[in-house]
Amino acid sequence: MNNMTEKIIGLHASLFDDDSGAPITHFVIAQYTIRTLNSPGSQTVFQGYVSQSAFQAGKRPLTSRVIDVPQVPTGGDVVQWLYELAPTIEGTDLYGAVPVTASV
């Protein structure tokens, strides 16, 4: 019996490093913060890599992007929630990014 499920492990977007012109295509959540008082919301820091294979090989990120989310999670897997929500936030570099999934 196979109990494996698909989880989002990153986001794919076609960006370029401003200084070098290198492509940055694979983004992973490095950190997140949940605010529950005064102005509830979330903030996520994504690190951007040349590729998924560069990330998996332990290469350093070329950039980071901070995305503010005007919501807080209601339960469940917070990282998955942030990966699902980030590509839907207009006006950010990761708007429209494609989820990268893996069986876990």
pLDDT tens sequence across 32-65: 999 988 889 999 999 999 999 999 999 999 999 9
Let me know: does 73 contact 84? Beta carbons within 8 Å.
no
Separation between Cα atoms, residue 11 and residue 24, nearest integer Å: 11
Helix, strand, coil % (nearest 5) of the chain? 15, 45, 40
Let me know: does 50 contact 22? Beta carbons within 8 Å.
yes
| Domains of the chain, residue spans | 11-91
> pTM score, two decimals?
0.91
**pLDDT confidence of 74, banded at 50, 70, 90?**
confident
**Residues 11-29: tens digit of each pLDDT:** 999 999 989 999 999 999 9
Q: Tell me what pLDDT residue 90 has.
A: 96
Let me know: does 43 contact 66? Beta carbons within 8 Å.
yes
Beta-bridge partners for 98: 12
